[in-house]
Amino acid sequence: MEAPPPFDDLISQCEHSAVHLEMRDAYTPDDPAFLAWKSGQLAEPLDANRPWFELVRTHVARGVEFRRARVISEPVTDYIRFEHEVTEAVNVAAGEQVRWLPRRLASDLRLPGNDFWLFDDRLVLFNHFAGDGSSLGPQGKELREEPYVIELCRATFKAAWARAIDHKTYQPV
């Protein structure tokens, strides 16, 4: 399997929408910002996430809509609590719309086996992770454009988004 182009290139080709479905309860266990947060030392979440913030802000300014739905277990893990705490300053402030979907409300949805990005309803980037949530690097990326894969991800995201709770309302349990 050939490695897909860098994410920045994929988002640069996007014209209308970039939607992201996250379904893990933990990511990057060695993330310095997460570890600092766990020890009570996180001062400014935007510092560690400035490249992402600038990327989103740039593309939102040219008309690309960013939406992120997070399917989560409750009670939430420390990582999800951390994500929730930094989402306003990092994701929402950059222009993303973020919603949270408790896993118990997603039991009857057709969810693919992996997190994904869907670009303009034409291209899917699946993200594969190790069991502990560690990144698998370029080998963990899978680009797909078959119509049935696009339709599965489009329908999945639409259904999850409709049930999910807006970030401003959701409170972690």
Q: What is the pLDDT of residue 139?
A: 86
Which of helix, strand or coil describes residue 165?
strand
Instruction: Name the architecture of domain 7-166.
Output: 2-Layer Sandwich (3.30)
Instruction: Indicate the pLDDT class of residue 32, thresholds 50, 70 and 90.
Output: confident
99-114 mean pLDDT: 97
pLDDT above 60: residue 100:
yes
Give the closest residue to 117 by CA, choosing from 3, 10, 16, 9: 10
Instruction: Indicate the pLDDT class of residue 138, thresholds 50, 70 and 90.
Output: confident
124 DSSP β-pair partners: 118, 144
- What are the sequence ranges of the domains in the chain? 7-166
Q: What is the pLDDT of residue 134?
A: 87
pLDDT digits (tens, 9 = 90+) for 67-83: 999 999 999 999 999 99
CA distance to 59, 68, 92, 94, 105, per residue, from 9 (Å): 12, 19, 22, 19, 34
pLDDT digits (tens, 9 = 90+) for 140-168: 999 999 999 999 999 999 999 999 999 99
State both tokens at 49: 């996430």
Report field, pTM of the whole predicted structure over 0.75: yes
13-21 mean pLDDT: 98
